[in-house]
Chain A
Amino acid sequence: NAGVMQNPRHLVRRRGQEARLRCSPMKGHSHVYWYRQLPEEGLKFMVYLQKENIIDESGMPKERFSAEFPKEGPSILRIQQVVRGDSAAYFCASSPPPRPSEQYFGPGTRLTVT
């Protein structure tokens, strides 16, 4: 059973460009979470999604950030007009029903904004 997959593993963007991060959950998992880890800090919750629904986006910045988990395909975290402060490691996790509290993490995407 393949684990949570994220791509790309490394992404370099110039200020003002858009970044798209993809996450394929484990097979059979219908809950996806995105977390961000800034240098020397812990992981910070961003958003919790189920298929076609955003359940909790309390950790998402109000502007430039959006997330989706369509009926088919991976979950996408989109950052528009990136700034240097967006440089971080972005981790996706997935969990199975009916135990959404067990989250399995992907390897992360390291975003560098130059």
Chain B
Amino acid sequence: DQQVKQNSPSLSVQEGRISILNCDYTNSMFDYFLWYKKYPAEGPTFLISISSIKDKNEDGRFTVFLNKSAKHLSLHIVPSQPGDSAVYFCAASPTTSGTYKYIFGTGTRLKVLA
């Protein structure tokens, strides 16, 4: 039962262009969403988050969009840089249910080509 899905296992983008990573979820109890970046042999690093009361959050080159009716979120990286090459995980949390656990997607491997 995969409650958070990242249907694209990999994505290649040219340096300087926009990277768009997608994530779908099924559980209506999720009210907080995050994106993490992960390099091999390291722990996930927090990138950006969004609460369900918003539909957009921006931080520098990173923007997260949330479409609650479609149960879909996306991460936009612009412009993409070679150092952005990593595995990106989206995560969702049902914070109002009293637990703050994250449910992760399976990840999308982004490769930014110089």
Chain A interface residues toward B at CB < 8 A: 4, 31, 33, 35, 41-45, 48, 55-56, 58-59, 91, 93, 95, 100-108, 110
Give the contacting residue for B43; candidates A56, A100, A108; CB below 8 A. Answer: A108
Residues in B whose Cβ lies below 8 Å from that of A45: 101-104
Interface size class of B (residues with CB under 8 A): 20 to 34
Whether A91 contacts B103 by the Cβ 8 Å rule is: no
Kindly report which residue of chain A lies nearest to residue B89, judged by CB atoms.
A42
Give the contacting residue for B100; candidates A43, A44, A48; CB below 8 A. Answer: A48
Roughly how many angstroms separate A45 CA and B30 CA in the complex, as a whole number? 15
Kindly report which residue of chain A lies nearest to residue B90, judged by CB atoms.
A42
Q: How far is the CB of B81 from chain A (nearest CB, A)?
A: 22
Tell me the total A-B contact number using a CB cutoff of 8 A.
65
Interface status of B22 (Cβ within 8 A of chain A): no
Roughly how many angstroms separate A107 CA and B6 CA in the complex, as a whole number? 23
Q: How far is the CB of B10 from chain A (nearest CB, A)?
A: 12
Roughly how many angstroms separate A102 CA and B43 CA in the complex, as a whole number? 15
Starting from the known contacts A103-B102, A105-B46, 18 additional A-B residue pairs (CB-CB under 8 Å) come to: A31-B100, A42-B6, A42-B104, A42-B105, A43-B89, A48-B100, A55-B99, A56-B99, A58-B101, A91-B43, A91-B44, A101-B93, A101-B95, A103-B46, A105-B36, A105-B44, A106-B43, A108-B42
Kindly report which residue of chain B lies nearest to residue A91, judged by CB atoms.
B43
Roughly how many angstroms separate A21 CA and B12 CA in the complex, as a whole number? 36
Roughly how many angstroms separate A43 CA and B36 CA in the complex, as a whole number? 11
Roughly how many angstroms separate A105 CA and B49 CA in the complex, as a whole number? 15
